[in-house]
């Protein structure tokens, strides 16, 4: 280990010297405010410093200050953004880079409960500890801009934004959010009809409030929600896993109706999908968001029934002639009216059964279709057929209208259901011959012979009535359009678009979150707390714990911790009509609230007039050109936030944009997902994890722990797998620069890879060799020769390296940038081995190229080279194009695609000359008998001779 070696050389670059250099430079950067980025206006303004520099906003997904501290997997992204930010500073940009803390929410609260300390205290300790750990990495952050979501000065504005949303509605015609006051004006002056046809001015406050609630983008609604007794709170759809458990804590989650705060994110579904096209994001993340929103075009169709129309949504209106039955979700509100007396018992029993089944059970059971006939029939609007109406749990109340038309010939689920219950199956499309051939059956329109439904393009058959004929059509789009037109013309439905996305459940029944800036009056009408009374501070509360409910008790009731602070919960306010008593809303916001806008607060962290100054926002995030909606220039974080945070933040940003508070349509222009650092974990014979650090690799490649054989697997680094490696250990053994460099060198920035403490020594040696090439290890004196002239080969390699490294850093390819620097250094090592010092003309650009990656070491060398100032704003070296071209080029010569020899040719040789030289070569002659069939000369690349 580095710290244990007894170095005879007192100035060798080792962990102790690195620690000394690193802490000195960290102190100096802090004292000199090196990384403070000037704003165009406000308290952080500095017009001179702004002049003629491009701005660059680099952002990391900010961390939860969790308290267990960092392991080496955490800072990977932060190091990457730091390297990029430092590089771009040297390229002349005004770089904004900072980091804040996402400190509200369940994890922080849960941790506080586990350790028995108040979340406020715990959170502050954790933030302090994380700041220390991150500072030790030498990240070039503007500390003035670091905010925590739990700061009152911060959540004051989170509450303000909430009120903006509460006091806004979505104008579908204008396709944007507008202030609710404008809607009231339109109702009052009659430009917009009041739903229900009432005279707005004649309505009382309560009635008005009720109508407005249907428009507000934040509203309280009785709806099926995900109740999680184990966490004592409801959670959002996005926070429920596929097997019906909570994302956090893995407790069972139950669907049940509750009155809850919702956000009307569905109003933005189209724009959230469409604007993805403007963003420079990984295609996979865009796809995940598109799928999550789940836009599908189709039609709404009304089926007449004895109790009125039953409306269904279908993506295949073109198959409507083949609808032979209908299926409603068991919870569908029309079921009670539809059911006939003789079927009442069966239907009631089925509904009971379906209701008792948790989501988990519904999914775990295999997919055998179940269902029961209601006894009622409905009318297929196209052919007038009476078709039976069933209920079945494969139809979900939460999607579409909770009812479907079943076309068993064209939908596999309907097909299975029809087979199960002997319902008719009628073909509306004739499958192509291959379809039958692949299934080894004779072509037939008799669906009884089909093994499954046919989904695809086929010729329409049996699809005509008096006024609509699809027969003979071959394209789905054409048939859909024709059907939709007919439905609309005949008043049976219309083309429509349906979304999988539901409104966002926005309240949590916990303590550690932003209180809602809402009070309730006696009539049950919510009122906004006036802006000048923000923040609504979270009251101190000793007993903040949620009441521990039985995690499996679906019927348990939420217990609101804020309700325990009675003197806080009940307030007297004057909202314009004299002082009155109100009851505060006792919910808190979900953790996502704070992370929906934090990047904006970095821009203007001390502003107490606005959440962000408009000019400041426009400078850092304004749109740039036609297809560039503005936003953060580079946003780096884990792929796990693909749909949650990234969707919610886009939604809030768009509302604020619509209301005129922002110039940018989108918060994050370019998104990059860094990979994860994984680590080997080891289990013993009892399947229990053992300390990975204590495992020994045996000569035969097997692994043992205390002599006992163990098995290896790879997983996320952390406590539970007992495989965490802390940055602190790496600082002690190698220093921060080595850790930074190793993390960047391990592999491409966007792929996950296993940590290997054994390999880190390679980068440590690299830094030692750099040091030795520039500094005398015995005296600590610089060995650089001021007037020495580098040979041609060295100058050429230097400039090729400059060119290469810049290109790699531009594209966040840190691993290959490092490889090029190692190559250069290996060459310099050979150079210095013979004669004396490295020429200054080589040493200086080399040190500058190293600076983004290993800033402490580079600063130290730069200073030894005689420069008084930090190199942070030194220009990154620029390659001399003249030195990038060689005088002569070595061409590999292939015969029939195999390299047989090499020839050296002047760089400016003509293809004919190269061909002649190649053919004249002795080795080539051995393989080529007589005249070659063909010769390919690729200038600058190679020669291939086809014999």
768 binding RNA? (CB under 7 A): yes
> Scanning the structure block, which residue is given the tokens 């932003």?
514
Q: Which is nearer to RNA, 401 or 841 (CB)?
A: 401
Q: What angle do CA 339, 413, 341 make, to 5 degrees?
A: 10
369 binding RNA? (CB under 7 A): yes
How far out from the chain centre does Cα 59 lie? 13
Residues 913, 902: Cα–Cα separation, whole Å: 15
Q: What is the CA radius of gyration of the chain?
A: 34
Q: Which is nearer to RNA, 364 or 548 (CB)?
A: 364
Tokens of 383: 């052919």
x/- string (CB under 7 A) for RNA, residues 325-354?
----x-------------------------
Check: CB of residue 25 under 8 Å from CB of residue 872. no
Subset of residues 895 to 934 that bind RNA, contact rule: CB under 7 A: 896-900, 902, 934
Closest separation between CB of residue 870 and RNA, Å? 28
Subset of residues 468 to 487 that bind RNA, contact rule: CB under 7 A: none
361 binding RNA? (CB under 7 A): no
Q: Which is nearer to RNA, 726 or 756 (CB)?
A: 756
696 binding RNA? (CB under 7 A): no
791 binding RNA? (CB under 7 A): no
Closest separation between CB of residue 108 and RNA, Å? 23
Closest separation between CB of residue 657 and RNA, Å? 27
Q: Which is nearer to RNA, 317 or 515 (CB)?
A: 317
Report the residue from 69, 92, 754, 837 that binds RNA according to the rule CB under 7 A: 754
> Scanning the structure block, which residue is given the tokens 């906003």?
57
Report the residue from 399, 435, 436, 520 that binds RNA according to the rule CB under 7 A: 399
674 binding RNA? (CB under 7 A): no
Closest separation between CB of residue 181 and RNA, Å? 35
Check: CB of residue 623 under 8 Å from CB of residue 630. yes
Helix (H) or strand (E) holding 85: helix 76-90
Q: Which is nearer to RNA, 526 or 637 (CB)?
A: 637
Residues touching RNA, count (CB under 7 A): 87
Residues 502, 236: Cα–Cα separation, whole Å: 10
Helix (H) or strand (E) holding 711: strand 708-716
x/- string (CB under 7 A) for RNA, residues 557-576?
--------------------
533 binding RNA? (CB under 7 A): no
3-state secondary structure of 118: coil
Subset of residues 423 to 442 that bind RNA, contact rule: CB under 7 A: none
Subset of residues 800 to 819 that bind RNA, contact rule: CB under 7 A: 813, 815-816, 818-819
x/- string (CB under 7 A) for RNA, residues 638-667?
-x--xx------------------------
Strand order, beta sheet including 493-498: 310-314, 296-303, 493-498
Closest separation between CB of residue 448 and RNA, Å? 21
Backbone angles phi, psi at 344, to 5 degrees: -60, -45
Report the residue from 766, 771, 846, 862 that binds RNA according to the rule CB under 7 A: 766
Beta-carbon contacts of 38 under 8 Å, excluding residues fewer than 6 positions away, are 44, 45, 46, 47, 49, 50, 94
Q: Which is nearer to RNA, 91 or 369 (CB)?
A: 369
3-state secondary structure of 782: strand
Residues 605, 716: Cα–Cα separation, whole Å: 34
Closest separation between CB of residue 49 and RNA, Å? 36
Check: CB of residue 118 under 8 Å from CB of residue 544. yes
Check: CB of residue 32 under 8 Å from CB of residue 752. no
**Sole window of 166-174, 398-406, 614-622, 863-871 interacting with RNA (rule: CB under 7 A):** 398-406
The torsion defined by the Cα of 423, 424, 428 and 433, in degrees rounded to 10, comes to 100
Report the residue from 548, 688, 696, 936 that binds RNA according to the rule CB under 7 A: 936
718 binding RNA? (CB under 7 A): no
**Sole window of 97-105, 220-228, 366-374, 686-694 interacting with RNA (rule: CB under 7 A):** 366-374
Residues 755, 679: Cα–Cα separation, whole Å: 5
Check: CB of residue 568 under 8 Å from CB of residue 515. no
Q: Which is nearer to RNA, 131 or 295 (CB)?
A: 295
x/- string (CB under 7 A) for RNA, residues 160-199?
----------------------------------------
Q: Which is nearer to RNA, 783 or 815 (CB)?
A: 815
Closest Cα partner for 637 from 80, 61, 103, 98?
A: 61
Report the residue from 11, 251, 394, 435 that binds RNA according to the rule CB under 7 A: 394
Q: Which is nearer to RNA, 625 or 897 (CB)?
A: 897
For the chain, give the number of residues: 947
Closest separation between CB of residue 819 and RNA, Å? 3
**Sole window of 189-197, 732-740, 761-769, 787-795 interacting with RNA (rule: CB under 7 A):** 761-769
Tokens of 938: 């690729």
Closest separation between CB of residue 840 and RNA, Å? 21
Report the residue from 45, 258, 288, 865 that binds RNA according to the rule CB under 7 A: 288
Residues 555, 258: Cα–Cα separation, whole Å: 11
**Sole window of 101-109, 177-185, 280-288, 834-842 interacting with RNA (rule: CB under 7 A):** 280-288
3-state secondary structure of 931: coil
Closest separation between CB of residue 396 and RNA, Å? 4
Helix (H) or strand (E) holding 284: helix 283-293
> Scanning the structure block, which residue is given the tokens 């599908």?
296
Residues 741, 736: Cα–Cα separation, whole Å: 8
Backbone angles phi, psi at 772, to 5 degrees: -65, -30
Tokens of 704: 């043992």
Report the residue from 125, 469, 826, 888 that binds RNA according to the rule CB under 7 A: 826
Subset of residues 293 to 322 that bind RNA, contact rule: CB under 7 A: 294, 296, 298, 312-316
Question: Where does 46-129 show beta strands of DSSP type E?
Answer: 55-60, 94-97
702 binding RNA? (CB under 7 A): no
Beta-carbon contacts of 477 under 8 Å, excluding residues fewer than 6 positions away, are none
Subset of residues 484 to 513 that bind RNA, contact rule: CB under 7 A: 498, 500
Q: Which is nearer to RNA, 192 or 923 (CB)?
A: 923
Closest Cα partner for 62 from 117, 131, 122?
A: 131
Report the residue from 264, 772, 796, 856 that binds RNA according to the rule CB under 7 A: 772
Report the residue from 344, 349, 396, 916 that binds RNA according to the rule CB under 7 A: 396
Q: Which is nearer to RNA, 181 or 296 (CB)?
A: 296
Check: CB of residue 312 under 8 Å from CB of residue 303. yes
Subset of residues 853 to 892 that bind RNA, contact rule: CB under 7 A: 890, 892
11 binding RNA? (CB under 7 A): no
Report the residue from 33, 439, 719, 765 that binds RNA according to the rule CB under 7 A: 765
Closest Cα partner for 903 from 886, 885, 921?
A: 921
Residues 694, 705: Cα–Cα separation, whole Å: 6
Closest separation between CB of residue 806 and RNA, Å? 14
DSSP secondary structure string for all residues of 797-840: HHHHHHHHHHHHHHTT-HHHHHHHHHHHHHHHHHHHHHSSPPBH
Closest separation between CB of residue 942 and RNA, Å? 5
Closest separation between CB of residue 369 and RNA, Å? 6
Question: Any bridge partners for residue 292, and if so which?
Answer: none
Subset of residues 205 to 244 that bind RNA, contact rule: CB under 7 A: 242
Report the residue from 65, 119, 402, 546 that binds RNA according to the rule CB under 7 A: 402
Biggest CA–CA distance in the chain, Å, is 108
Q: Mapped to the 3 state alphabet, what secondary structure does 618-637 carry? A: HHHHCCCCCCCCCCECEEEE
């Amino acid at each position: 280990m580095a710290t244990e070696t007894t170095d005879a050389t007192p100035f060798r670059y080792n962990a102790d010297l690195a620690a000394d250099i690193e802490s000195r430079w960290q102190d100096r950067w802090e004292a000199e405010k090196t990384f403070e980025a000037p704003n165009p206006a406000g308290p952080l303004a500095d017009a001179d410093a702004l002049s003629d520099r491009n701005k660059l906003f680099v952002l990391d997904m900010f961390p939860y200050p969790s308290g267990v501290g960092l392991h080496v997997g955490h800072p990977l992204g932060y190091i990457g953004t730091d390297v990029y930010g430092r590089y771009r500073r040297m390229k002349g940009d005004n770089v904004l880079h900072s980091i804040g803390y996402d400190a509200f929410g369940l994890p922080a609260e849960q941790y506080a409960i586990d350790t028995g300390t108040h979340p406020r205290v715990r959170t502050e300790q954790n933030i302090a500890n994380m700041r220390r750990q991150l500072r030790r990495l030498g990240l070039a952050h503007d500390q003035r801009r670091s905010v925590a979501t739990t700061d009152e000065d911060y959540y004051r504005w989170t509450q303000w934004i909430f009120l903006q949303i509460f006091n806004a509605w979505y104008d579908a015609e204008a396709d944007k959010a507008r202030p609710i006051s404008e809607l009231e004006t339109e109702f009052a002056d009659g430009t917009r009809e009041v739903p229900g046809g009432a005279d707005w001015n004649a309505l009382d406050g309560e009635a008005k409030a009720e109508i407005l609630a249907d428009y507000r983008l934040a509203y309280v609604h009785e709806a099926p929600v995900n109740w999680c007794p184990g966490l004592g709170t409801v959670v959002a759809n996005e926070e429920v896993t596929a097997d019906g458990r909570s994302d956090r804590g893995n407790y069972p989650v139950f669907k049940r109706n509750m009155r809850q705060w919702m956000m009307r994110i569905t109003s933005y579904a189209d724009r959230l999908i469409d604007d993805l096209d403007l963003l420079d994001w990984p295609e996979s993340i865009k796809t995940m968001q598109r799928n999550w929103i789940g836009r599908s075009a189709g039609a709404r169709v009304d089926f007449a029934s004895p109790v009125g129309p039953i409306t269904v949504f279908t993506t295949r209106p073109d198959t409507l002639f083949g609808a032979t039955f209908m299926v409603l979700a068991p919870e569908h509100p029309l079921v009670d009216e539809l059911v006939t007396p003789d079927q009442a018992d069966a239907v009631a029993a089925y509904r009971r059964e379906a209701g008792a089944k948790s989501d988990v059970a519904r999914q775990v059971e295999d997919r055998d279709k179940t269902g029961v006939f209601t006894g009622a029939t409905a009318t297929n609007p196209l052919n007038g057929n009476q078709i039976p109406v069933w209920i079945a749990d494969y139809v979900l109340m939460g999607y579409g209208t909770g009812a479907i038309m079943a076309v068993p010939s064209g939908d596999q689920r309907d097909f299975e259901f029809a087979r199960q219950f002997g319902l008719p199956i009628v073909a509306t499309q004739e499958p192509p011959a291959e379809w039958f051939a692949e299934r080894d059956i004779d072509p037939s329109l008799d669906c009884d012979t089909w093994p499954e439904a046919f989904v695809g393009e086929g010729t329409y058959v049996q699809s005509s009535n008096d006024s609509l004929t699809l027969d003979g059509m071959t394209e789905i789009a054409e048939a859909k359009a024709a059907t939709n037109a007919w439905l609309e013309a005949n008043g049976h439905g219309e083309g429509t678009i349906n979304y999988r996305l539901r409104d966002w459940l926005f309240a949590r029944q916990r303590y550690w979150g932003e209180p809602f800036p809402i009070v309730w009056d006696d009539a049950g009408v919510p009122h906004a707390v006036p802006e000048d009374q923000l923040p609504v501070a979270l009251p101190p509360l000793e007993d903040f714990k949620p009441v521990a409910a039985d995690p499996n008790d679906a019927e348990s009731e939420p217990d609101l911790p804020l309700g325990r602070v009675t003197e806080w919960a009940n307030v007297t306010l004057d909202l314009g009509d004299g002082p009155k008593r109100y009851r505060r809303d006792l919910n808190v916001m979900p953790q996502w609230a704070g992370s929906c806008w934090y990047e904006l607060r970095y821009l203007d962290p001390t502003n107490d007039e606005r959440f962000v100054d408009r000019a400041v926002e426009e400078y850092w995030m304004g749109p740039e050109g036609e297809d560039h909606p503005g936003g953060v220039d580079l946003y780096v974080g884990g792929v796990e936030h693909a749909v949650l945070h990234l969707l919610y933040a886009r939604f809030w940003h768009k509302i604020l944009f619509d209301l005129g508070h922002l110039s940018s349509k989108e918060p994050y222009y370019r998104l990059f997902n860094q990979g994860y650092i994984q680590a080997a974990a080891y289990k013993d014979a009892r399947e229990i994890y053992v300390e990975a650090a204590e495992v020994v690799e045996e000569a035969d490649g097997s692994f043992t722990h205390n002599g006992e054989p163990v098995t290896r697997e790879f997983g996320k680094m952390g406590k539970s797998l007992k495989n965490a490696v802390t940055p602190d250990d790496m600082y002690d053994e190698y220093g921060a620069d080595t850790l930074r460099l190793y993390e960047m060198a391990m592999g491409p920035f966007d792929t996950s890879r296993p940590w290997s403490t054994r390999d880190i020594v390679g980068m440590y040696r690299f830094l030692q060799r750099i040091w030795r090439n520039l500094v005398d290890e015995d005296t600590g004196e610089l060995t650089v020769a001021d007037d020495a002239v580098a040979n041609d080969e060295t100058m050429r390699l230097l400039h090729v390296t400059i060119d290469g490294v810049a290109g790699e850093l531009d594209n966040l390819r840190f691993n290959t940038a490092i490889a090029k620097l190692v190559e250069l250094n290996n060459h310099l090592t050979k150079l210095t081995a013979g004669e004396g010092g490295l020429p200054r003309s080589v040493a200086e650009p080399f040190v500058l190229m190293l600076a983004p990656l290993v800033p402490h070491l580079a600063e130290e060398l730069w200073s030894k080279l005689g420069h008084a100032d930090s190199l942070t704003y030194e220009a990154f070296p620029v390659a001399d194009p003249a030195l990038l071209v060689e005088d002569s080029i070595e061409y590999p010569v292939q015969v029939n695609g195999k390299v047989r020899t090499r020839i050296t040719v002047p760089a400016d040789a003509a293809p004919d000359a190269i061909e002649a030289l190649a053919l004249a070569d002795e080795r080539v002659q051995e393989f080529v008998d007589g005249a070659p069939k063909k010769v390919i000369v690729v200038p600058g690349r190679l020669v291939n001779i086809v014999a």
